[in-house]
Chain A
Amino acid sequence: MGELFRRYMEVKARKYRGFIQPPTAEAERISLPEFYMGRSYGRFLLSSSEAYMLRREIELLTSTVDKLRFYMKILFTMILVLLGLLLTKIIGVW
């Protein structure tokens, strides 16, 4: 491996902020030469850029769902507090 390519990889490795995911069972099993000979192991035929865009969309959706879930929790908490207050008022606590 050339020196310049190594330096490039080092720069990119230093800047990498993610984590390395565990490999899939399929990856453990396959051999690349065999794979390229024509076996596609039933994977989706997505190009990597398409896969990237799909992942980005899923991330965006997930973050939107997370936000919604958070606001719903606040709403439910407020409703519960109000119901509690109403109940205590009905039974004459105050």
Chain B
Amino acid sequence: MSELKAKVRMLISEIKSRFIGNEKAVEVAILNQLHRRSATLIRAPRGAGKSTLMLLLLKGLCGDDFVVISGASEVRRGEVIGRLHIPSLEREGVEKVIWSEFVKSRGKGLDEVNRLNPYTTAGIYHFMQFGEVWSYGKRLKISDYILIANENPNDAGTFIHPPPFYDRFDVCILLRTLSLSEKFRLEETLKKFKGMLIESMPQVLDANELEEIRRDVSEIELDVETLGMINMVVRDLQACIRDKEFADVKPPALCSGCHFVRETCSKIREPPSERSVISLTELAKAKLWLEGGLSEDSLWELIPWTIMHRASLTDSRNLLSSWAEILSKEREKIRDREARGHWLILLKLSQSFDQKLYSYAKDLSLEDPVFAEELRRLEEKWSSEGVLKDLK
């Protein structure tokens, strides 16, 4: 196992030696390749290195066994999924499907995915969701793969893909442009590799090694506190006592007059999906496998990459700083819950009803919608058991 870890570290260092800047993003992108059917989305302005990073990752993991589709509105479903074999149809009247190389290949790249037309994208969405593709009534099961897509959604020619499509990507890597000193480092790097950053990238892991790593990572078990933290952060970003998920009016309009108007919930227009918990768990397992430990700080560093493309904010003028502020408050809130004994009280109340504890729990609920949600569940249980009679 330590040999495989050394190889992953070598992959990180080979990519970092060719890809300047955005170090954290590169590490997260590599960590995300360590679980089955990984899907990575790279989002950046043009010329920031989206395609370079995608190709470096694909080369490092697949050698030359990968297919890249360049997004353009005229790219048809037949080119990406499968097309009819015309001679068979003409001579024998049989509908035989020729599956595309993209579908059959282990390494899949989608350059400028925002320019792919929605009909073609629907086919890709289907295999990400169900692990299979359909064409002319024929089905093909897709084995394990590495999918890396990139886009600049601000470019002209962009199709607005539905949020469920983006939700299928485990992480969204945001790349920023290079600082002055980084630009000088890039000059040196280009000189060192004679301008051939991608061509010079070696295949560090073969298919069997990656399969073994993915198996090892899937067998890692996270401790209950880490799992609790992951679930709590996502729930904090989802919770709304006015059920925004089912409301036509979204925050901030929905929050008018609400007691929690200054809470995190009022800053989230569309909450992240449950898939963010799965993606974050996979990333945490990969980090634990690679580094042998997972600190609270490193878990918090992983969180933004799994939620930024799955949720939308009421104020998205500066996405990175808005998320940084929200997550820093979240961290304080989680500490506060621990400092005030929320979970001890809920545990005791779940074991037996106690009037004093219940009143204190109500007090805490006034400042915490997620805790309130759990207390309301208990109230309903007590009410059905007849313990709590005057529940309004």
- Contact status A8-B227, CB under 8 Å: yes
Q: How far is the CB of A17 from chain B (nearest CB, A)?
A: 9
State A9–B374 Cα separation when bound (angstroms): 12
Contacts of A46 in B (CB 8 A): 262, 367
- Contact status B263-A24, CB under 8 Å: no
Residues 299-350 of B at the A interface (beta carbon under 8 Å): 329-330, 332-333, 335-348, 350
Q: Which of A1, A4, A20 contacts B345 (CB 8 A)?
A: A20
Contacts of B98 in A (CB 8 A): none
State A48–B360 Cα separation when bound (angstroms): 15
- Contact status A9-B365, CB under 8 Å: no
Q: How far is the CB of B239 from chain A (nearest CB, A)?
A: 12
- Contact status B241-A27, CB under 8 Å: no
Q: How far is the CB of B242 from chain A (nearest CB, A)?
A: 9
B261 within 8 A of A: yes
Interface string of A5-43 (1 = CB under 8 A from B): 111111111011010111110111011111110101001
Q: CB-nearest residue of chain B relative to A18?
A: B341
Contacts of B379 in A (CB 8 A): 32
Q: How far is the CB of B78 from chain A (nearest CB, A)?
A: 46
A72 within 8 A of B: no
Interface SS, A side? helix
Contacts of B339 in A (CB 8 A): 18, 52
B75 within 8 A of A: no
Q: Answer whether A9 and B367 are a contact pair too, CB < 8 Å, given A35-B259, A40-B259, A52-B336.
A: no
Q: How far is the CB of A25 from chain B (nearest CB, A)?
A: 9
Q: How far is the CB of B128 from chain A (nearest CB, A)?
A: 27
Contacts of B347 in A (CB 8 A): 6, 9-10, 12-13
Q: Answer whether A16 and B341 are a contact pair too, CB < 8 Å, given A6-B347, A31-B391.
A: yes
Q: CB-nearest residue of chain A relative to B368?
A: A48
- Contact status B362-A27, CB under 8 Å: yes
State A27–B358 Cα separation when bound (angstroms): 9
Task: Please list the residues of chain B having a beta carbon within 8 angstroms of any beta carbon in chain A.
Answer: 224-225, 227-228, 241, 257, 259-264, 329-330, 332-333, 335-348, 350, 356-357, 359-360, 362-363, 365-368, 372, 375-377, 379, 390-392
